[in-house]
């Protein structure tokens, strides 16, 4: 760590950095930033930067408001969109109390705690997100609703199109920040795009997702368009998910791989999936944290609404991707419910905790879904044992409230804040619609 700090201080001096932004998130996942002068960085490393935690959503209560932000030197990067005039860098921070204890409500610390539990069992948790978002001509819209930048569809090549140039610029900027991109393409909705980040340990991936969102917003401003990670911005078109591929490693060995097993999936991998399935309904209030999230989950277009798994089945909640011969290290499972607006730190914590619970308790994996789950009747789904994901935020909150796994993973303070905050959001939403709409239009739930 001392070598990393020395590298940061030397780079700041050699590159003429004028401002250093210290980043962290609130409980909802909103990025927070405070800029300090280069001369203050060494002191921030040694003592942290004090701030009023009670002014940040969910971080602390008014009577215990003092917190410290400690920059993590391993996350130092120069921000490419700032250019050569007054160069600016950023570092993510860990939040502590004045006595040096990790803040129990810091989302980054919540994930670190869960990763430590996995490490105690010999596991390292890796994730790989597929992040979808929409590009709109403007943040303003009239009676016809938001206007996408194009009318293209899945994998369409649009010569000279806004989305093509946008993705190229965004990928280049992400690479400049040390964030490796695997794929980028136009998605199924008009103006909808997807950029997939390469596998990394879960903490690095969560930091990368927060940086990714900032990059996308900055490029949108630069190109005169508007980018949104809203789960379902356009009625009648696909929502924006963040399908997340996951694997556990024991040292250099993929714990999900077993040669000769069905789909080359090990017992640990099967138990991990079983844990995800059993606990999916109770973690949904975090992985899908907005009223709008349920428009996506229950709006069709391959969004998962039912709790089941399948091999290469995109209508299932959990998918086991096609195995690549001689690539056992790539064995993984894909969780398809989480949307692009989720707090990645809290969501990864709960998905990992659910999977670990399946391993610890030896959960049995139910039979796989072999057909399009959406095409089945309600009676057929019930006969096959496919439970539903929550149909609304209100339903998700009620399931989360009774969950020991969520309460233990998030910690009391974050757990109680999420319950209160989401209940308020739901009641505020209900006050804005008519009883007729609530009765007749599932889309708006």
Other beta carbons within 10 angstroms of residue 144's beta carbon come to: 6
User: Is position 61 annotated in a ligand binding site?
Assistant: no
Asked if residue 395 is part of any domain, the answer here is yes
User: Is position 245 annotated in a ligand binding site?
Assistant: yes
Phi-psi region of 236 (alpha: psi -120 to 50; beta: other; left: phi over 0): left
What pLDDT, on the 0 to 100 scale, is given for residue 442? Answer: 39
User: What CATH number corresponds to the domain at position 411?
Assistant: 3.30.590.10
Domain that holds residue 150: 112-439
Q: Distance between CA atoms of 55 and 24, rounded to whole angstroms?
A: 14
What pLDDT, on the 0 to 100 scale, is given for residue 436? Answer: 44
Both 74 and 210 in one domain: the answer is no
* pLDDT beneath 50: ranges in the chain: 62-63, 436-445
Asked if residue 219 is part of any domain, the answer here is yes
User: Is position 302 annotated in a ligand binding site?
Assistant: yes
What pLDDT, on the 0 to 100 scale, is given for residue 82? Answer: 81
Last residue of a domain, one of 55, 77, 101: 101
User: Is position 247 annotated in a ligand binding site?
Assistant: yes
What pLDDT, on the 0 to 100 scale, is given for residue 242? Answer: 97
Asked if residue 393 is part of any domain, the answer here is yes
Both 168 and 316 in one domain: the answer is yes
Both 147 and 72 in one domain: the answer is no
The answer to whether residues 91 and 38 touch, using CB atoms and an 8 Å cutoff, is no
Q: What is the pLDDT of residues 353-378, one digit of tens each?
A: 999 999 999 999 999 998 889 888 98
What pLDDT, on the 0 to 100 scale, is given for residue 326? Answer: 65
Both 84 and 139 in one domain: the answer is no
Q: Distance between CA atoms of 163 and 380, rounded to whole angstroms?
A: 41
The answer to whether residues 133 and 228 touch, using CB atoms and an 8 Å cutoff, is yes
Q: Which residues contact 136 (CB under 8 A, 6 or more apart)?
A: 146, 147, 148, 149, 191, 225, 226, 227, 228, 233
User: What CATH number corresponds to the domain at position 22?
Assistant: 3.10.20.70
- What's the total number of domains in the chain? 2
User: Is position 151 annotated in a ligand binding site?
Assistant: no
Last residue of a domain, one of 74, 101, 128: 101
Both 131 and 87 in one domain: the answer is no
Q: Give the global pTM.
A: 0.93
Find, among 384, 353, 350, the residue nearest to 366 by Cα.
Answer: 384
User: Is position 121 annotated in a ligand binding site?
Assistant: no
Both 162 and 309 in one domain: the answer is yes
Both 41 and 78 in one domain: the answer is yes
What pLDDT, on the 0 to 100 scale, is given for residue 443? Answer: 39
Asked if residue 292 is part of any domain, the answer here is yes
What pLDDT, on the 0 to 100 scale, is given for residue 59? Answer: 60
User: Is position 246 annotated in a ligand binding site?
Assistant: yes
User: Is position 258 annotated in a ligand binding site?
Assistant: no
User: Is position 144 annotated in a ligand binding site?
Assistant: no
Last residue of a domain, one of 54, 79, 101: 101
**What backbone phi and psi angles, to 5 degrees, belong to 119?**
-65, -35
Asked if residue 141 is part of any domain, the answer here is yes
Q: What is the pLDDT of residues 148-197, one digit of tens each?
A: 999 888 888 877 677 888 999 999 999 999 999 999 999 999 999 999 99
**What backbone phi and psi angles, to 5 degrees, belong to 398?**
-65, -35
The secondary structure of 204-240 as a DSSP string is HHHHHHHHHHHHHHHHHHHHT-EEE--S--STTS---
Both 432 and 288 in one domain: the answer is yes
Structure-token match 């780079």, residue found: 11
- Alpha-helical runs (H) found in 191-335: 202-223, 267-287, 293-297
Q: Distance between CA atoms of 247 and 34, rounded to whole angstroms?
A: 34
Both 328 and 381 in one domain: the answer is yes
Token pair for 72:
């993590």
Asked if residue 107 is part of any domain, the answer here is no
Q: Which residues contact 197 (CB under 8 A, 6 or more apart)?
A: 128, 129, 131, 174, 179, 180, 181, 182, 205, 208, 209, 212
Asked if residue 445 is part of any domain, the answer here is no
Both 299 and 323 in one domain: the answer is yes
User: Is position 130 annotated in a ligand binding site?
Assistant: yes
Both 62 and 176 in one domain: the answer is no
Both 276 and 337 in one domain: the answer is yes
- Alpha-helical runs (H) found in 73-177: 107-120, 162-176
Asked if residue 106 is part of any domain, the answer here is no
Beta strands in 325-428 (DSSP E): 333-335, 387-388
């Amino acid at each position: 760590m001392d070598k990393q700090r020395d590298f940061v201080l030397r780079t700041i001096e050699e590159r003429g950095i004028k401002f250093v932004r210290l980043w962290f998130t609130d409980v909802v996942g909103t990025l927070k930033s405070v800029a300090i002068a280069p001369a203050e960085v060494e002191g921030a490393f040694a003592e942290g930067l004090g701030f009023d935690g009670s002014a940040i959503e969910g971080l602390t209560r008014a009577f215990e408001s003092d917190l410290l932000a400690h920059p993590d030197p391993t996350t130092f990067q120069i921000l490419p969109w700032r250019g050569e005039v007054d160069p600016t860098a950023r570092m993510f921070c860990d939040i502590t109390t004045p006595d040096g204890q990790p803040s129990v409500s810091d989302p980054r610390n919540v994930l670190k705690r869960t990763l430590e539990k996995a490490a105690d069992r010999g596991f390292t948790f890796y994730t790989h997100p597929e992040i979808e978002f929409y590009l709109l001509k403007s943040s303003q819209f009239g009676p016809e609703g938001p206007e996408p930048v194009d009318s293209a569809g899945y994998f369409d090549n649009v010569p000279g199109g806004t989305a093509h140039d946008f993705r190229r610029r965004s990928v280049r900027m992400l690479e400049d920040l040390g964030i490796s991109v695997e794929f980028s393409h136009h998605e199924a909705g008009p103006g909808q795009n997807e950029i997939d980040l390469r596998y990394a340990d879960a903490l690095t991936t969560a930091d990368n997702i927060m940086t990714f969102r900032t990059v996308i917003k900055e490029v949108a401003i630069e190109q005169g368009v508007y980018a949104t990670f809203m789960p379902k911005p356009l009625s009648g078109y696909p929502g924006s998910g963040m399908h997340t591929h996951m694997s556990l490693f024991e040292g250099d060995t993929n714990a999900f791989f077993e040669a000769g097993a069905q789909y080359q999936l090990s017992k640990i991998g099967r138990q991990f999936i079983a844990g995800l399935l059993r606990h999916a309904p109770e973690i949904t209030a975090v992985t899908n944290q907005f009223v709008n999230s349920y428009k996506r989950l229950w709006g069709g277009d391959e969004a998962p609404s039912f709790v089941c798994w399948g091999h290469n089945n995109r209508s299932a909640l959990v998918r086991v991707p096609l195995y690549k011969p001689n690539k056992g290290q790539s064995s993984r499972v894909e969780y398809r419910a989480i949307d692009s607006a989720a707090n990645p730190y809290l969501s990864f914590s709960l998905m990992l905790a659910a999977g670990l619970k399946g391993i610890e308790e030896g959960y049995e994996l139910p039979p796989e879904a072999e057909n399009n789950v959406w095409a089945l009747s309600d009676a057929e789904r019930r006969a096959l044992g496919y439970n539903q994901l929550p149909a609304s935020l209100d339903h998700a909150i009620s399931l989360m409230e009774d969950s020991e796994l969520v309460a233990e993973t998030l910690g009391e303070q974050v757990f109680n804040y999420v319950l209160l905050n989401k209940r308020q959001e739901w009641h505020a939403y209900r006050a804005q619609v008519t009883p007729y709409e609530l009765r007749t239009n599932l889309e708006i739930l």
